[in-house]
Structure 1
Amino acid sequence: MSRHSHTDRRAFLKTAGIGAAAVFAGCLGGGDTDAIAPPTNDAADADPAGESASLDPAAEVDADRIAADPTDVPDPVDWDEPRTHEVTMETQEVTAEIEPGVTFDYMTFDGRVPGPMVRVRRGDTVNFTLKNPEDSGLPHNMDFHAVYGPGGGADHTTIAPGEEASIRYKATYPGVHIYHCAVPNMDHHISAGMFGAILVEPKDGLPEVDRELYFGQHELYTNGETGQEGHHEWSVDAAKEEDPTYMAFNGEAYAFTKDGYGRVQVEQDERVRLFLSNGGPNLSSSWHAIGNVWDKLYRDGDLVSDPARYVETTPVAPGTVTAAEIRTPVPGPIKIVDHSLTRVARKGLLGVLEVQGEQDPDIYDPDGG
């Protein structure tokens, strides 16, 4: 599904009469509208005289979409003997929209944020190749947190434009781990989208679920204000202050809402496993599902210990992947957020699951009967 046009989005916000307080209530309370941001023009709020830093006009995009599809998850492990996997990724530097009218120069693995999930079994071998096209502007590499080896493989995969490099490693310890670019300016590369997840299933596998979803959280540090139209450049100063212009799931503000690519559809009475890769590069997430709890929580990607049960909100540090499961007994939206709620109401960090099904008044009666 394509994003709504910038004109449609602005019309929607104007028609809804959304101010900051109303948007905040809409994000948290939630009926039929996702009622999201930008709730106000932060640039104008911060600078009533209209003297905020000017930006170049929005750049021509070479990628219509940067946000990875959360449903694009590899199939569960169904083998019980060690295998060898051939995995190749290509670095792609692309210009795309953070939100309509706001462009940014992203850095990605395979053109999406987060990069593709790699899924193997403990004891498997991975032959990994990283390619950096000739038209790239920067060197890149790959640091797998699941790898024993110098830099998690980064030392031997650092490549200039037009080069490629290969490493071979055994997936020795189970868990779900982050991977990311780790060149000297790694904060820029990660913030701009170069991170993902590698899932190393225990030898006995993972419990069966009905559906799996994969999200990546990160911060975008730019020379503009949230909601300011034009082309946003990476800002070292904003990164040093750890003051992001946007925070996003999968690279784009509010991508998985009605005003983006649409809510992620799930069915009633499913068990859904979610993976959150927090690329950061700096800020921890207070990961929460509004209207639900983490029925099973695999803290810090630990898939071997018994999961925690019925956890409302959990910290996910930058450089960490956490897995959690929810149940879906009643229909309606489940809003996936960072419970540092200004990030939700003002900076773009919201995704919505839509549970399809019939009301069950024994569990929840929306009419209060």
Structure 2
Amino acid sequence: MERIGPDTGVKMSDQNASVVEEEARAQRLGWALLLAAAAGLFVADVGRAEVVTVQLRATVTKVEVAKDDQREAWTFNESFPGPVIRVKEGDIVDFTLKNEADRVHSIDFHAAKTPWNLHFQGVPTGSQSTFRWKADYPGVFYYHCGTDPMIQHIANGMFGAVVVEPRHPVTKPDREYVIVQSEVYPTPFDVAAMMAGKPKLVVFNGKANKYLDEPLRAKPGELIRLHVVNAGPNHFSAFHVIGAIFDRVYASGNPKNVEYGVQTYTLPPGGGATFDLIIPEEGMYPMVTHSLQDALTGALGVIHVAKEDSPKVGFEPSGHANEDAVARAADSNP
């Protein structure tokens, strides 16, 4: 008996037909897998998983929020804002929160997909909580204490930024900074003012007008990358650099979420974005929230662009500045 083989038009015997059919089936399966991968239906990770150990401590710390204003803040790792946590897309984060403060605290990672009722619950004084989550998406994310009243815990300093570096990096910047905008209320216990959204100060990285005294620095023509998070807890940020245009803005810091030629970008409380800009001329370039009542109460700084060599300054320059919070280890079976 003879028949026509699949897609060939060649006559064959029954003895060879099953072999050809198996080869054709394998070929069709291979094409299906390639098409599925191209469509983004799955990603095969053939590399080893990296486990990143992150430890935060809930603490009480005296901080200076303005030249004439020192106060006790509720902090992570005695830092206001909390330390920048920098991991890579696909990393497994082995996280521990230790509560060394005098009240219940908790954690909420906007970068994590994990059950709220299991992992974001309150940790009593003297206790700790440990869990794992995977950094599935690249970008810049917010973390904060979620204990009730959440607005008070955030307003008093329990927040920070997570930078998840993409698996396939975008263009490497010459200068890289993390900026966290937040509101400072009259006293740590003035929940009424917090609920009314009437802060005393709005600040970048914990202090009013911080980068007027300590400008961010760059040289003409350098690629500057700003990761910006709005900690709130109430006010939107209208982030803008006077005298410049953002060449690219990545919503939530994800390289796939790109806009070009942006003048001002809105960041809601709990949101973030990454800004790329190149400034060709020397000079001073103020960075502000264009919600001007907030700029005039402290959310104001300067990028100083000059040809002479200058140190890279800022809350989080390129590289790891969070070794107190993060440790890395290879693990093939997280």
Letter in 1 for 2:75: T
TM-score, normalising length from structure 1? 0.67
Residues 1:154 and 1:350: Cα distance change in structure 2 (over 3 Å): farther
Residue 233 of structure 1, CA deviation = 4.1
- Alpha-carbon separation, structure 1, partners of 2:246 and 2:73: 32
Residue 327 of structure 1, CA deviation = 0.7
What do residues 102-154 of structure 1 show as CA deviations (whole Å, max 9, x unaligned)? Answer: 22221111222222222222221110111121xx2221111111111122974
1:287 equivalent to 2:254? Answer no
Give the alignment partner of residue 128 of structure 1, picking from 95, 110, 125: 95
Say which SS state the counterpart of residue 116 (structure 1) adopts: coil
Tell me, yes or no, if the aligned pair for 1:121 and 1:171 is still in contact at 8 Å.
yes
- Alpha-carbon separation, structure 2, partners of 1:124 and 1:233: 36
Matches within 5 A, 1:70-85: 81-85=48-52
Say which SS state the counterpart of residue 105 (structure 2) adopts: coil
Give the alignment partner of residue 351 of structure 1, picking from 301, 308, 333: 301
- Alpha-carbon separation, structure 2, partners of 1:241 and 1:197: 25
Give the alignment partner of residue 302 of structure 1, picking from 254, 257, 264: 254
What do residues 155-183 of structure 1 show as CA deviations (whole Å, max 9, x unaligned)? Answer: 35x21221221111122233221111100
* Aligned equivalent of 2:195: 240
Tell me, yes or no, if the aligned pair for 1:219 and 1:247 is still in contact at 8 Å.
yes
- Alpha-carbon separation, structure 2, partners of 1:153 and 1:277: 26
* Aligned equivalent of 2:157: 193
Letter in 1 for 2:218: V
- Alpha-carbon separation, structure 2, partners of 1:268 and 1:170: 38
Residue 298 of structure 1, CA deviation = 0.5
Residues 1:269 and 1:242: Cα distance change in structure 2 (over 3 Å): same
* Aligned equivalent of 1:339: 290
* Aligned equivalent of 1:87: 54
Residue 324 of structure 1, CA deviation = 0.5
Matches within 5 A, 1:14-163: 81-133=48-100, 136-151=101-116, 154-156=119-121, 158-163=122-127
Tell me, yes or no, if the aligned pair for 1:176 and 1:303 is still in contact at 8 Å.
no
TM-score, normalising length from structure 2? 0.74
* Aligned equivalent of 2:168: 204
Letter in 1 for 2:191: V
Tell me, yes or no, if the aligned pair for 2:107 and 2:146 is still in contact at 8 Å.
yes
* Aligned equivalent of 1:323: 274
Root mean square deviation of aligned Cα: 2.0
- Alpha-carbon separation, structure 1, partners of 2:307 and 2:154: 38
Tell me, yes or no, if the aligned pair for 2:111 and 2:141 is still in contact at 8 Å.
yes
Residue 250 of structure 1, CA deviation = 1.2
- Alpha-carbon separation, structure 2, partners of 1:139 and 1:109: 13
Tell me, yes or no, if the aligned pair for 1:276 and 1:321 is still in contact at 8 Å.
yes
Tell me, yes or no, if the aligned pair for 1:113 and 1:216 is still in contact at 8 Å.
no
- Alpha-carbon separation, structure 1, partners of 2:82 and 2:118: 16
Residues 1:234 and 1:350: Cα distance change in structure 2 (over 3 Å): farther
Letter in 2 for 1:151: W
- Alpha-carbon separation, structure 2, partners of 1:152 and 1:144: 13
Unpaired segments ≥5 residues, structure 1? 1-79, 223-231, 359-369
Residues 1:101 and 1:200: Cα distance change in structure 2 (over 3 Å): closer
- Alpha-carbon separation, structure 2, partners of 1:201 and 1:176: 9
Letter in 1 for 2:120: D
Tell me, yes or no, if the aligned pair for 2:119 and 2:131 is still in contact at 8 Å.
no
Say which SS state the counterpart of residue 257 (structure 1) adopts: helix
- Alpha-carbon separation, structure 2, partners of 1:344 and 1:148: 34
Tell me, yes or no, if the aligned pair for 2:249 and 2:274 is still in contact at 8 Å.
yes
- Alpha-carbon separation, structure 1, partners of 2:115 and 2:77: 24
- Alpha-carbon separation, structure 2, partners of 1:320 and 1:169: 20
* Aligned equivalent of 2:221: 269
- Alpha-carbon separation, structure 2, partners of 1:297 and 1:153: 34
Say which SS state the counterpart of residue 74 (structure 2) adopts: strand
More strand by share: 2
